[in-house]
Structures are given as C-alpha cells and as structure tokens.
Chain A
Amino acid sequence: MTAPLLALDSLAKSFTMHLQGGLVIPVVAGISLDVAAGECVVLGGPSGAGKSSVLKMIYGNYRADGGAIRVIDRNETVDVATAAPRRVMALRCTTIGYVSQFLRVIPRVPALAVVEEAATAFGLGREEAQARARRLLALLNVPERLWSLPPATFSGGEQQRVNIARGFIADHPILLLDEPTASLDAKNRAAVVELIEAKKAAGTAIVGIFHDDDVRERVATRIVDVTRFAASAA
C-alpha cells in the first residue's frame, strides 16, 4: 500500500446560522479517510448528507470546524484545515484540482481561456495549455464555434463540459469531482468516464460524487457512505 496523497482525520463541519438565531446545522463529524494514488473514492449517501461539503472542505472553500485534511504537496505535508490562505491558493494551482457542480462564469472571458487558465496556473506553458484545452474541449464535444465565446450563454451541459475540461487540464495529484456527469448525455458521460480512468491510470488520487449508478460502478475503487459520519444536532 502506497502512502495516501490525501488523508482526512476526524474531520467535522457544522454551519451556525446567525441570522436564524444562531441555529446550528450539523453536517459531518469524525470523517477519517485515506486516498492513495490511482484510487477513486466515491462519496455515497443521500442528498444533504454532506458529500459536497466534504469536497469543499478539502478544496479550502469551506472551513473545517475540527480535524485535519492532510495533503501531500511534493515533499511536504500540508493541513488544508489550518493552512494560511496563500498556502491553500498555491495548493489549488499545483496540487488539488476541483470540478464544481456549476461553472462560475466570468464576463467576457472565452471558453478556451477559462480552460487554459487552470493549466497556466499549474505551470504549463501557453502553447501546451492551449493544445490541451483544444484537445479536451473536442473530446467533450464542445462545438469549436463556441470556444472563442464566453460561456455565459452556453447551455447547462455545455457549461459543465467547459468546467470539466478546466478541472482535468492540469496534472494535479489530487482531483475532486462534484457530480461532473450530472447534466450530461450518455455520450458525454462516457467521455468523462474515460477521462477519469486515464487520471486513475496516471496515479491521480480522486474523490468524487456521482449520482449515476453506472458511472459510479465503473470508476469507483471504493464507495464511502457519508451518512456513517452524520453529525448529531447540537
């Protein structure tokens, strides 16, 4: 067994809603999980179980209330839960990739540039970034006439495929996937499954959420039911 690239240790999260009289909404507690190179760990459980929250904590988008998120960054171990913002920003460039449920559209930035940006942030040269972006967008069946347009006017499925291309373009050792196939047809789902298989073969440690049973069965190394870690109401 190789050392895990990502290790969650007793991770806990709840939301305190100050505008609702300090209502505390427990999400998860005591999640411990190791993810090794080449593994795809699928988070299971019903909607609202906290699956997305776990991914967001790993990416530093949500704060953790307790526990640690240890990430191997080259020769160093970094705890995302306590790292300085600068460190988390650097991790996002070089170490942790993330495909969110929805693409955040930026006015006037064309689809190709949205995808390339993740590659140049990772440290690839302009030419390599552009070549990879074109290859991925073609593979994901985004029509070439759309590449030079900002994705604001694209359909939900087209936006999601731009988002997937952006998430997959770099060689991040850790990749987080939040329902990447949710709004895709069978042909594009198959394309994403192929991309995931290629990442696994290349030794990427993947944590994902998938609602389609067939996709989940195909890509999962193992399935972890998040409801096992449900936090009880305070």
Chain B
Amino acid sequence: MTNAMTDAPLLTAEAVTKFYGARIGCRDVGFELYPGEVLAVVGESGSGKSTLLKLLSGQLAPSDGRVLYRMRDGVTRDILTLSEAERRFLFRTDWGFVHQHAEQGLRMGVSAGANVGERLMAVGWRHYGKIRTEAETWLERVEIDAGRIDERPTAYSGGMRQRLQIARNLVTAPRLVFMDEPTGGLDVSVQARLLDLVRGLVADLGLAAIVVTHDLAVARLLSHRILVMKDGRAIETGLTDQVLDDPREPYTQLLVSSILQP
C-alpha cells in the first residue's frame, strides 16, 4: 500500500464509451487503477458492467475513449494499438481473467494439472517435472488436493472448478486480474470459502483486480474502491465502505437498502 502510493496507475480508463447501434452499452467511464488496488464494479443486470469489463480487457473496442495499460517495461500503452504478440503476452501472463462460469475459463477436456501447466508453458516453461511441481503447489494453494491433479475438471464440483480457474490464472504471477461475477452460481458456503481465498491471494500477491459483481457483500469483502453503474454510466464512485455506508445517489441508496439481512 505505502510503496504503491508513488507508483503510476497500472490501468487508466478515459471516457470509455460503447454504443451497440443506437443503444448505449457504456458511456464516459473513467478511472485509474493502481498496483495492488481492487476495484469493484457493481450494478444490476444490463447496467453495462460486463460491457465495461470487456472494454477494459481489450475484448471489445470502444466507440470512443481509450484504455491505457502500463506494461512491464514501464511504458504506458493504449491497449487497442498493441500488436497481436503483445496482446497475447498480456492475456497469457500479465493479466488473468476469471469467468463466472469456470467452463469458459478452463479447458474441460484436459487434466487439472494441464490446465495450470498450460499457462506456464505459454511463458516458456519446458521442464515437465518443474511444471508439475508448480501446478501441484498452486492446486494446494487454492485448497485442491494435489492427488486430484490428473483428473479432468469435469470430475470437479462447481466450487473446485472455480478455484482451479483461479489457480490457472494466477500461476503466471499476473499484475491485473479481471473477475466477472466470480462467485455467481455457487452455494453460499462455497462462496465464502472462495471469497476468503481470493481475498488472501490478492493481498499476498499484491494484485490489482477489477471485480464485476451484483453482490454488494462481495464488493465489501474484496474491494478497496467501488464504481456503481446504472444505464451504462458510472453514477457513483469512492471508497467501498464509504459508498456502501453513506451512499449519495438515489440508485445506490436503493441498491444498499435492498440487501436482505440474514
């Protein structure tokens, strides 16, 4: 935290806008994300948060505005102007992308070990024994019994698949991880375990993360800052606890007041 203060932003969104024909997907969203910071993007379905995540991660080209990323060599680049090789490097090593449905982020036809090892091979690891040892280490880190390394993810439960997806993403020591509803569709007890795991890993590794979620409890637990989206716009942003405890906008007040207390 303290040394991160002096750093330059890792990712900068400048007036990012996306139209689907006449319909607005996302409009004028801007923010800076620094190393080690976790930003939650919250809002209901259709608010534009998934569109925003695709724009930020270069999977969708904005109609207007731009997304800047500080590469490992310290040079800040517009992600749209990267060469294909540079983009591949980002996706394979410097970025992680955790999908809501683990099946989208895993290769279901190969073993858990291969799922993790594949990312290592993409960054030049060649020694089979070392790759396997590293994969085992990561399975244990995400609380999967290393004895199940040779099983395919199809044999795993939903919570295990999600943890495997996280291991696959983090094994290359990325600096930025995008997460799209990482706990969506999981049982509550499974969610709590996953959240605690993600919270610990993000803090230990000093990762920056952008987490899209409709669940304000997830945002409270994982994020430092929050961005509330409605109709494609960022209507309120600030420290997570400040926005949740002292919401200013009518829509944010509605979201916060709609949480059921167990």
Interface residues of A (CB under 8 A from B): 15-19, 56, 60-63, 85-86, 88-90, 93-94, 106-109, 121, 123
Q: A85 touches which one: B224, B248, B254 (CB < 8 A)?
A: B224
Query: Using a Cβ cutoff of 8 Å, how many contacts connect chains A and B?
Result: 58
| B199 CB within 8 Å of chain A | yes
Give 7 pairs: A residue, B residue, CB < 8 Å, sorted on A. A18-B249, A61-B245, A63-B246, A85-B242, A86-B34, A90-B1, A93-B1
Q: Is B141 an interface residue (CB 8 A)?
A: no
| B60 smallest CB distance to A (angstroms) | 27
- Which of B84-92, B112-120, B175-183, B189-197 binds A? B189-197
Interface centre among A16, A63, A88, A93 (most CB of B within 10 A): A63
Contact B2 A85 (CB under 8 A): no
With contacts A85-B238, A109-B196 taken as known, whether A62 is within 8 angstroms of B245 at the C-beta atoms is yes
Interface residue tally for chain B (C-beta within 8 Å): 25
- Is there an interface contact between A85 and B250, defined as CB atoms closer than 8 Å? no
Q: How far is the CB of B187 from chain A (nearest CB, A)?
A: 13
Which residues from A are CB-within-8-Å of B250?
18-19
Contact of A108 among B196, B224, B225, B246 (CB under 8 A): B196
List, in ascending order, chain B residues with CB within 8 A of A109's CB.
Answer: 196
Within 8 A of A (CB), among B192-246: 192-193, 195-196, 199, 221, 224-225, 238-239, 241-242, 245-246
Given contacts A88-B239, A90-B5, A106-B196, contact A17 B253 (CB under 8 A): yes
Q: Are B239 and A89 in contact (CB under 8 A)?
A: yes
The answer to whether B257 has its CB under 8 Å from any CB of chain A is yes
Quick one: given A18-B253, A19-B253, A106-B221, are A85 and B239 in contact (CB under 8 Å)? yes
CB-defined contacts of B254 to chain A, threshold 8 Å: 18-19
Q: Does B37 contact A (CB under 8 A)?
A: yes
Interface residue from B199, B224, B245 paired with A89 (Cβ < 8 Å) = B224
Q: Measured between alpha carbons, how far is A84 from B200 in the docked complex, in Å?
A: 25
In the complex, are the beta carbons of B257 and A19 less than 8 A apart?
yes
Question: In the complex, what residues of B have CB within 8 A of residue A16's CB?
Answer: 248
Decide if A108 touches B239 in the complex (CB within 8 Å). Answer: no
Report the Cα distance A93→B3, complex, angstroms.
12
Residue of A nearest to B191 (CB): A107
Query: In the complex, which residues of chain A have a beta carbon less than 8 angstroms from the beta carbon of B199?
Result: 106
Give Cα A107 to B225, complex, Å.
Answer: 20
- Indicate if the CB atoms of A107 and B196 lie closer than 8 Å: yes
Closest B-chain residue to A87, C-beta based? B5
B window 116-173: CB within 8 A of A = none
Closest to B247 in A: A18
Q: How far is the CB of B238 from chain A (nearest CB, A)?
A: 6
Nearest CB in chain A to that of B203: its residue? A117
Q: A234 to chain B: closest CB distance in Å?
A: 16
Query: Is A86 within 8 A of B37, CB to CB?
Result: yes
For A16, A17, A18, A123, the residue with the greatest tally of chain B CB atoms inside 10 Å of its CB is A18
- Contact between chains at A93 and B2 (CB < 8 Å): yes
CA distance A17 to B256 in the complex (A): 12
Which residues on A sit within 8 Å (CB–CB) of B253?
17-19
Of all chain B residues, the one with the shortest Cβ separation from A13 is B246
How far in angstroms is the closest Cβ of chain B from A98?
11
Instruction: With CB as the reference atom, state the residue of chain B lying closest to A63.
Output: B246
Q: Which residues of A contact B195 (CB under 8 A)?
A: 107
Chain A residue nearest to B1 in the complex (CB): A93
Per the bound structure, the CA–CA distance linking A15 and B252 in Å amounts to: 14
**For residue B245, which residue of chain A has the nearest CB?**
A61
Q: How far is the CA of A18 from the CA of B193 in the complex (A)?
A: 36
Q: Tell me, in angstroms, the Cα distance from A46 to B1 when the chains sit together.
A: 38
With A17-B253, A63-B248 as known contacts, state yes or no: A108 contacts B192, CB within 8 Å: yes
Q: Which of B2, B225, B242 contacts A62 (CB 8 A)?
A: B242
Bound-state CA distance A16–B245 (Å) is 13
In Å, the complex CA distance between A17 and B250 comes to: 8
Closest to B195 in A: A107
